[in-house]
Structure 1
Amino acid sequence: MHGELSHELEVGLPASVVWEVYGTLELANLVGKLLPNLIEKIELVEGDGGVGTVLLLTFPKGTPGLTSYKEKFVMIDNEKRIKDTDVVEGGLLDLGFSLYRIRFEIVEKDADTSIIRSTIFYELADEHSANAFLVNTQAVAKIGEVISQHLLEKQANA
């Protein structure tokens, strides 16, 4: 079983400003700080924010099916403003997923508006198809909302 789910959020910020967060380790830093109920802790395991960077994400107690997992930045395209991260250890891989990839794409709508497009690609062994409910866009939607709000507040206070 395989598929993809997407979420789009339009924000009143230039794509370059949003990409400064999404294209770097700043996203992990802000998510760890602003969303502790979603992801309890994010630790840098290796790398500097470029391709090959590995993060350890620890989830709050009670998160369905998850305690922690490692994700790796497998593709970053600064021109197209796209970043792919794959779960490479633990978490969803322990629940029958052979692929769980999150793609963040920052699309320029006009000079002052952009779209945060978050897509989840997954492959799940048929015998674990009951775990398909774990694939949803709620977390990436919440991250987009909180990060864009943070950036808008930062811009207003500048």
Structure 2
Amino acid sequence: MLLEIWQTVNQALERSMTRVIHTVGKRFERMKLKGEPITVTTGLKESVIQRRMRIVNEVTHASNSKVNTSASTKDLRECRELQDFLQMHCISTHYSFQIMKCVGENPCPYCTMNPARLPDDVLTGLSFLPCPVPDDSGVHYKTFQELKLNCLGVWKERG
């Protein structure tokens, strides 16, 4: 009974917000940054987030109570399995969050469930993308060719 009420309220809220979200999106589409229009996207639906959280739980073997859509940042930081996965596969910077799959004969559960589509020899040569680095003028950014990869998989300026 309570679940049915919650689902009904949730659906009604989603329907009532659709027009508002559309209107706000249209306003943002008219905005420009340095002469270029701003790209407007909509957020993920709750069902998609729930499916992705199930994958995270299966991959990290974390209990559902630890990793779910209502988990706090503290809960996620304390989930050792999730932190191990993030340390092995991810890099998070001010500009981006990147995930790279395992290479080799003993892939982790995530990479077993979602194998890379590239051959291992190609995947082995890949690294995380560099963060933007302002050029000397401070108006533009350095090109990809002006940056180099250090031994830790982090991009630095050539020099």
Give the TM-score band, short-chain normalised.
Answer: under 0.3
Which structure has greater strand proportion? 1
**TM-score, normalization: structure 1?**
0.20
Answer 1 or 2: higher relative contact order, Cα 8 Å, separation at least 6: 1
**TM-score, normalization: structure 2?**
0.20
Which structure has greater helix proportion? 2
